[in-house]
Structure 1
Amino acid sequence: MERQLGNKLILVGFMGTGKSTVSKLLAGRLEWERVDVDEQIVSRAGQAISDIFAESGEEGFRDIESDVLASILADEASSVIATGGGAVLREANRNLMLASGLVVALKADAAQIIDRVQSDDARPLLQGDAANRVNRLLEQRKHAYDFAHITVDTTSLTADEVVAVIMERWGKGKQQ
């Protein structure tokens, strides 16, 4: 089944689960382009994500995110795509991802996520008490990533180990 999922590998997951790091390694391994949805949003909007949130609110940001995701998935180039943690909140985005390639959900336990993101001031959803916000958002999104073809728990794995697990489960583990 997985071999028929085209030339897109789409990483989804809560913030701090390793999507950006793993996407770089996977793209290198596959010799595919790497595309980070959040980076594309910043580039196209000409402003930081925190500024978009401040100016347009979360709903406005999600509109931009959906448009950017759709254009990335429509591109014919083989690519590894790192999505923002909330890209899965819209059903249309989930359906488009599933129709466009292999969707891999990265997850980690709350303590690991908090450790990874607590000092990141660029995350607008974490303003204030990061630990409390992470726990609340994790509870709200506990099933948001269940639609993915593959799920990998990154809590106790290195980024290279995560890549190896994805390649193995995708059926490309023996290839270079």
Structure 2
Amino acid sequence: MKVFLIGYMASGKSTLGKALAKALALPFIDLDVEIERTAGASITEIIDTKGELHFRKVESAVLKDLLEQHESGVFALGGGTPVFYNHMDVLNAKGETIFLDVPVGELAKRLEGDIKRPLIQNKEDVAEFVAKHLFERRPYYSQAKHRIAGPSISVGELTALLN
């Protein structure tokens, strides 16, 4: 079984993904970590030096490789992954996609002061930025087979959804 967790940054994809993988006895694959390992640079460095378009190409290539390498697993995807290169069609064909739909206010609270996130660095109004960005991405996220909404999503909810 392949399970793909999608959603905005700070929605809990990596944190919940690790716990879900453990609960299901599946490997956990974090796309962002694999991109950094493959590229030999942080996502921030890739975007700062080569631009977002280059990053998205690398992201797509790494995702393709991971899908071929792993028969099963819980995959935590980047917040923008579903938006580019028809990824949602591919992901829906390969496994179970779950949109972690966390409210804007909760996302903004989690992101305040997080300097590791390149898209929100130097943003004065994080909530406004998140709301606008989420509005743009929601049509892609909404293509997921499953959706769980709320400020606090549990591993139990995810496992129940998959059973």
What SS is found at the alignment partner of 2:141? coil
* Unpaired stretches in structure 2, ≥5 consecutive residues: none
Letter paired with 1:134: V
State the TM-score, normalizing by the size of structure 1.
0.86
Q: Are 1:17 and 1:154, in contact at CA under 8 Å, matched by a contact in 2?
A: no
Q: Are 1:23 and 1:81, in contact at CA under 8 Å, matched by a contact in 2?
A: yes
Match of 1:144 among 140, 146, 157: 140
What SS is found at the alignment partner of 1:97? helix
Q: Which residue of 1 aligns with 2:129?
A: 133
Letter paired with 2:76: A
* Unpaired stretches in structure 1, ≥5 consecutive residues: 1-6, 172-176
Identity of aligned residues (%): 31
1:153 and 2:149 aligned = yes
Q: Are 1:73 and 1:97, in contact at CA under 8 Å, matched by a contact in 2?
A: no
Q: Could you tell me how far 1:56 is from its partner in structure 2?
A: 1.5
1:28 and 2:22 aligned = yes
What SS is found at the alignment partner of 2:70? coil
Q: Could you tell me how far 1:30 is from its partner in structure 2?
A: 0.8
Aligned residues: 161
Deviations 1:82-136 (A, max 9, x none): 0000001124211111111100110111110011112211111112223332122
Distance 1:9 1:153 in 2: 17
Q: Are 1:11 and 1:106, in contact at CA under 8 Å, matched by a contact in 2?
A: yes
Deviations 1:24-70 (A, max 9, x none): 00010011110000000010101110110011211111111111111
Letter paired with 1:87: T
Q: Are 1:18 and 1:154, in contact at CA under 8 Å, matched by a contact in 2?
A: no
Q: Which residue of 1 aligns with 2:86?
A: 92
Please give the root-mean-square deviation of Cα atoms over the aligned residues, in Å.
1.3
Distance 1:53 1:76 in 2: 27
